[in-house]
Amino acid sequence: MLQQAARPQRISLRSSLPTARPGLARTRGKEQKREVIAPERGKAKPFLKWVGGKRQLLPELEPRIPSHYGTYHEPFVGGGALFFHHQPRRAVLSDANERLIRTYRGVRDKVEDVIGLLSSYPHDRDFFLEMRGIDVDRRSDAEVAAWFIYLNRTGFNGLYRVNRSNIYNVPFGDYDNPVICDADTLRACARALRHTELLCTSFETVVDRTRPGDFVYFDPPYVPLSPSSNFTAYTRGGFGMAEHAQLRDVARTLKARGVSVLLSNSSAPVVHALYGDGFELASVGATRAVNCKAAGRGRVQELLIR
Ligand SMILES: C[S@@+](CC[C@H](N)C(=O)[O-])C[C@H]1O[C@@H](n2cnc3c(N)ncnc32)[C@H](O)[C@@H]1O
**pLDDT, tens digit, for every residue of 210-268?**
999 999 999 999 999 876 554 433 334 589 999 999 999 999 999 999 999 999 999 99
147 annotated as ligand-binding: no
Element (H, E) at 224: none
- The SS3 assignment for 3 reads helix
- End-to-end alpha carbon distance in the chain: 58
* Position 15 pLDDT exceeds 70: no
Predicted confidence at residue 228, as pLDDT, reads 55
pLDDT (0 to 100) of residue 52: 87
Count Cβ neighbours within 10 Å for each residue of 223-236 and write b for 16 or more, e otherwise: bebeeeeebeebee
Task: Out of 45, 58, 76, give the residue to mutate to test ligand 1, the one with the largest number of ligand atoms within 8 Å of its CB.
Answer: 76
**Across all residues in the chain, what is the average pLDDT?**
85
Q: Is 95 marked as binding a ligand?
A: yes
Other beta carbons within 10 angstroms of residue 296's beta carbon come to 10
CA distance 265 to 147: 30
CA of 76 to the centre of ligand 1 (A): 4
CA distance 131 to 153: 12
Distance CA 240, CA 223 (A): 8
In this predicted structure, what is the pLDDT of residue 287?
73
pLDDT for 289 equals 61
Nearest alpha carbon, ligand 1 atom 20: 202
For 90-120, give the secondary structure using H, E and C. CEEEEECCHHHHHHHHHHHHCHHHHHHHHHH
Contact in structure between 71 and 214 (CB atoms under 8 Å): yes
CA 216 to mean position of chain CA atoms = 16
- Give which of 141, 180, 136, 200 is closest to 162, Cα–Cα: 136
Give CA–CA dist 127/123, Å, rounded. Answer: 7
HSE (CB half, 13 Å, CA atoms) of 69?
23
CA distance 75 to 218: 6
Contacts of range 250-258, beta carbons closer than 8 Å, 24 or more positions apart: 250/203, 250/204, 250/206, 250/207, 251/216, 251/218, 251/279, 251/305, 252/278, 253/207, 254/206, 254/207, 254/210, 254/216, 257/210, 257/212, 258/212, 258/213
pTM for the structure as a whole? 0.85
| Number of the ligand 1 atom closest to the C-alpha atom of 50 | 9
Instruction: Domains for the chain: give ranges and CATH numbers.
Output: 55-99+192-305 (3.40.50.150), 110-189 (1.10.1020.10)
Q: 291 falls in which pLDDT band (50, 70, 90)?
A: low
Q: What is the mean pLDDT of residues 150-159?
A: 96
Mean pLDDT of 54-82: 96
Whole-angstrom distance, CA of residue 49 vs CA of residue 152: 7
Q: What is the pLDDT of residue 234?
A: 33
For residue 3, what pLDDT band results from cuts at 50, 70 and 90? very low
Query: Which residues line the pocket of ligand 1, CB cutoff 6 A?
Result: 50, 52-54, 75-76, 78-81, 95-97, 202-203, 219-221, 239
pLDDT, tens digit (0-9, with 9 covering 90-100), for 116-146 = 999 999 999 999 999 999 999 999 999 999 9
